[in-house]
Amino acid sequence: MTWDWTPDNLAALERFLQDRGLTDGPLTTKRIGDGHSNLTFLVDDGTRQLVVRRPPPPPTPPGAHDMLREARLIDSLADTAVPVARLLATAGADEVIDVPFYVMTFAEGPVVTTTTPPPLDTPAVRRQVGEALVDTLADLHAVDWRAAGLSDLGRPEGFNERHLRRMGRLVADADGNPPPQFAAIDDWLAMHVPPESGDSIVHNDYRLGNVVVAPDAPGWIAAVLDWELATIGDPLFDLGYFLSSVPERGAPMTPTEQLGTAMLEEGWPTRAELANRYAARTGRDLANLDWYAGLALWKLAVLYEYGRRRAARGVGDPYYADPALVRSFLEAAHRAVGLESTEET
């Protein structure tokens, strides 16, 4: 995304933050994060650092990038076992700038992606961080979302079938048929939809690159980031997505796995170890885990295909223009559920 703060927008932000006692004086801004959706900026007045989240520049799909919904969610999690930044302020569209945004505290620590930085770069600490990752996911799924006031965030009943049907429409043709390369995995997923394993808050993009790791050993999670896709649904979808983001030695990597290659270093838990720890923490039956992993990878293929089409029309992020990204997720989805390669079908 190419959007950045203009002098007028920055001046408006300075007034907004000063009026609330959050900053004092001229601001500098720096884009942070590896995502291709909502934009995150580190804001600094020379003494204090805050984070501002806003949607990407238009055009955006209807209903996407709801900043105030995201802000409400992290505020609701403030007193739970899930580590989140503290919400400081929100603003609606045209209240300060032309789009809504929110302000939160800055969580100190690295976001680990391709390498583990010191002092976390020992096998023992890597394992502790990996275990903290899956423990945090289990803690999220244990949150009483009704008591947290989030009953209207989503509909858990029928989540799996509805999720499959709704996402498929993004790339289906006028007759409702999927693109040819999607047909086999579409059919397999539709024929094997399991009943929901339960209901919980589902992050929908939980992976190594979306958490801040505390900077000092033994390593714990300081904050979970990027809540824009969160809803109420089947917690095993989150687990399937998370495990699918963990790269495995000697296997082809999807774009999501490439964002977490640090987990190939010595000490990080394997997918199987992470799944076993989650099962032990939650007591959930993981017999259908392959279906959830396949769904997660298929969903990413759908979203990347949708992004590719928008990029081809010149209205989306050019990152998605390469069709090889879509093929990578489709291949991984086929492997996850035991189907032949897309190149063989």
Region of poorest pLDDT, from 59-68, 180-189, 198-207: 59-68
207 burial type by CB count under 10 A (0-12 exposed, 13-18 middle, 19+ buried): buried
**Per-residue pLDDT band at 36 (split at 50, 70, 90):** low
Model confidence pLDDT, tens digit, residues 142-192: 999 999 999 999 999 999 999 999 999 999 999 999 999 999 999 999 999
Model confidence pLDDT, tens digit, residues 275-332: 999 999 999 999 999 999 999 999 999 999 999 998 999 887 888 999 999 999 999 9
pLDDT of residue 214: 92
Q: What percent of the chain has pLDDT over 70?
A: 95
Provide mean pLDDT across the span 88-112.
Answer: 95
Q: What DSSP string runs through 48-96?
A: -EEEEEEPPSSP--TT---HHHHHHHHHHTTTSSS--PPEEEEE-TTTS
Model confidence pLDDT, tens digit, residues 290-299: 999 999 999 9
| Dihedral over alpha carbons 28, 75, 140, 331 (to 10 degrees) | -50
Total Cβ atoms within 10 A of residue 67: 20
Domains of the chain: 7-105 (3.30.200.20), 123-337 (3.90.1200.10)
pLDDT of residue 288: 97
pLDDT of residue 345: 47
pLDDT of residue 341: 85
Provide mean pLDDT across the span 119-135.
Answer: 95
Closest CA to 93 of 84, 105, 101, 85: 101
Q: What are phi and psi of 177, to 5 degrees?
A: -90, 140
Residue linked to tokens 């002092």: 119
Provide mean pLDDT across the span 190-198.
Answer: 97
Give CA angle at 60 (54, 65), nearest 5°: 40
User: What is the edge-to-edge ordering of all strands in the sheet holding 101-105?
Assistant: 28-32, 39-44, 49-54, 101-105, 87-91
Q: Output the average pLDDT for the chain.
A: 93
> At residue 202, what is the residue type?
V
Note the Cα 277 to chain centre separation in Å: 21
Residue 231: enclosing H or E segment and its boundaries?
strand 231-233
Q: Whole-angstrom Cα distance, residue 286 to residue 8?
A: 53
Instruction: Supply the pTM of this predicted model.
Output: 0.93
pLDDT of residue 184: 97
Provide mean pLDDT across the span 106-133.
Answer: 94
Query: Residues 6 or more apart from 161 whose CB is under 8 A from it?
Result: 193
Q: Whole-angstrom Cα distance, residue 273 to residue 127?
A: 10
Provide mean pLDDT across the span 1-26.
Answer: 92
pLDDT of residue 58: 64
Query: Residues 6 or more apart from 222 whose CB is under 8 A from it?
Result: 83, 107, 108, 109, 211, 212, 213, 214
Provide mean pLDDT across the span 207-232.
Answer: 91
Provide mean pLDDT across the span 136-140.
Answer: 98
Model confidence pLDDT, tens digit, residues 221-260: 999 999 999 999 999 999 999 999 999 999 999 999 999 9
Provide mean pLDDT across the span 99-106.
Answer: 96
Q: Whole-angstrom Cα distance, residue 219 to residue 231?
A: 28
Paired tokens of 137: 């996911």
**Per-residue pLDDT band at 16 (split at 50, 70, 90):** very high
